Amino acid sequence: MKKIKIGLLGLGQIGSGVYRILTRKKSLLQKKSGVSFEIEKIAVKSPGKKRAVSVPSKLLTRDAMSVAKNGRADCVIELVGGVRPAKDFVLAALKSGKDVITANKALLAECGEEIFKIASRYGRRVFFEASVGGGIPVIKALREGLVANEIQSVLGIINGTSNYILTRMTHDYLEFGQALAQAQREGYAEPDPSLDIDGIDSAHKLAILASLAFEEPVRLRDIACEGIRAIDQNDISFANQFGYSIKLLAIAKKTAEGLEARVQPTLLSKDHILSKVDGAYNAILFRADEVGDMLLYGKGAGSKPTASAVVSDLVDMAQGRPDKKTNPWLTKRRLKIKSGSSIQSRYYLRFSVIDKPKVLARISGILGDHGVSISDVIQTERKVGNVVPLIMLTHHAGEGAVQDAVKTIDRLPVIKGKSHRIRIED
Ligand SMILES: NC(=O)c1ccc[n+]([C@@H]2O[C@H](COP(=O)([O-])OP(=O)(O)OC[C@H]3O[C@@H](n4cnc5c(N)ncnc54)[C@H](OP(=O)(O)O)[C@@H]3O)[C@@H](O)[C@H]2O)c1
């Protein structure tokens, strides 16, 4: 039976999951793949730390670089995370003639072009199924299942932490801070949740998905990114009254004017299939010319689902699956990126206004002057002189025009606080 020796970098959440599958499911994997996997060495930061799995201490080392370069291993699984020093380990492994498997979306989103260039120069392969969508085989679906298709758009809920928070705000009426604290208590959010709630993790994943979907490198700086910190219970409840839910969406669309790529809180009709994706679940909706709409749904993070994707890559690698002929990160870039201000969308606007006669007319007038027309209005709790929320939905309008109009409105003396603007995805 074919034997594959592995250098494992990292034994945290995902590394432990991979170790557990490779040790407990050894015979199942042998039966299904015809390959016997053996862990040669594991690099960690603190070898003495208590872990989710019990590992013979002789396997552990602090020296990740020596594991990356170890001549006895056939491949390296990088599960350290972050850009540095993970990038140094990955490049060293490739240059030492090893294939690499990684779950590291930040690394690929930021350094994909450099990593694949080195891999190609040294005739090595890089597998990264676990970098997007955790246990959902989204990379495989995109590269293999949809090979006959031209992809028109990708719409994804690809950050479980943000989706969990928005779901708790929607169903349990929690304020953002309360929902975040609950997510932290239940292990869905890190002590420092910025990467997740500011949309950066989704942008990393979207850069990978959009590069594969549109077959050219899509860089992080091409993606307009906005997180969910500013969403409050008012927005959730008014969106609900209009028949929408709020989701953090990662969106990439090919348009005549270029690629539109953004991560942003979005109002989605409750009838939209992605509206029904709740809790820490992920879903990715492709629109493609042959299959039409196709939805992938499942657990987008966590030790078990993500380790499942890593092991699937390991089997592909061991079975000698050749690298794809077209690699977006090795393709010359011709993509034009559509400017944010030219993106057309409907908008939800929430102003905090002093309730006075003619305020509504004044605000509508400013929007009208910028070519933004209103489709719906809600003004509640009418008490003259009080600060009340004024909610407006617009017809399609350019992002630039809406931004300018809101800036002008925010300068009116009757406006108290910064106005909220959320796009509506039809
Ligand atoms: N967690 C998820 O649900 C999830 C989902 C999809 C993808 N991913 C990706 O998977 C990767 C791993 O994530 P994770 O959640 O498993 O992270 P983690 O729990 O923080 O584990 C990181 C591991 O790397 C080790 N490490 C850190 N710096 C090191 C260094 N300089 N040398 C050697 N070892 C080092 C740590 O050692 P110690 O244990 O000794 O501290 C730890 O074992 C990341 O790229 C992440 O984005 C994670």
Per-residue model confidence as pLDDT tens digits over 85-127: 999 999 999 999 999 999 999 999 999 999 999 999 999 999 9
Nearest Cα neighbor of 141 from 257, 316, 342, 286 is 286
Q: Identify the residues whose C-beta falls under 6 Å from ligand 1.
A: 10-15, 43-46, 49, 64, 79-81, 85, 103-105, 130, 134, 301-302, 306
pLDDT value at 382 more than 80: no
Residue with CA at minimum distance from ligand 1 atom 27: 80
DSSP state of 342: G
In this structure, the residue with its CA closest to atom 21 of ligand 1 is: 12
Would you call 205 a catalytic residue per the annotation? Answer: yes
Considering the entire predicted model, what is its pTM? 0.96
Average pLDDT over residues 343-368: 93
| Percentage, residues of the chain above pLDDT 70 | 98
The model's pLDDT over 258-300, given as tens digits with 9 standing for 90+, comes to 999 999 999 999 999 999 999 999 999 999 999 999 999 999 9
How many C-beta atoms surround the C-beta of residue 45 within 10 A?
11
| List of long-range contacts for 370-375, beta carbons under 8 Å, 24+ apart | 370/397, 370/401, 370/402, 370/404, 370/405, 370/408, 371/397, 371/398, 371/401, 372/347, 372/397, 372/401, 372/402, 372/405, 373/397, 375/346
Distance 44 CA to ligand 1 centre (A): 9
Per-residue confidence at 333, pLDDT binned at 50, 70, 90? confident
Residue range 162-184: average pLDDT? 98
DSSP-based three-state secondary structure for 330: helix
How far is the centre of ligand 1, averaged over its atoms, from the C-alpha of 203 (Å)?
A: 19
The 3-state DSSP class for residue 285 equals strand
Block residue for tokens 């989701």 = 247
* pLDDT over threshold 90, residue 381: no
pLDDT category at 417 given cuts 50, 70, 90 is confident
For residues 150 and 288, the answer to whether their CB atoms sit within 8 Å is: yes
6-33 pLDDT, tens digit each: 999 999 999 999 999 999 999 999 999 9
- Is the pLDDT confidence value at 178 over 80? yes
Determine how β-strand 344-354 pairs with β-strand 374-379.
unpaired
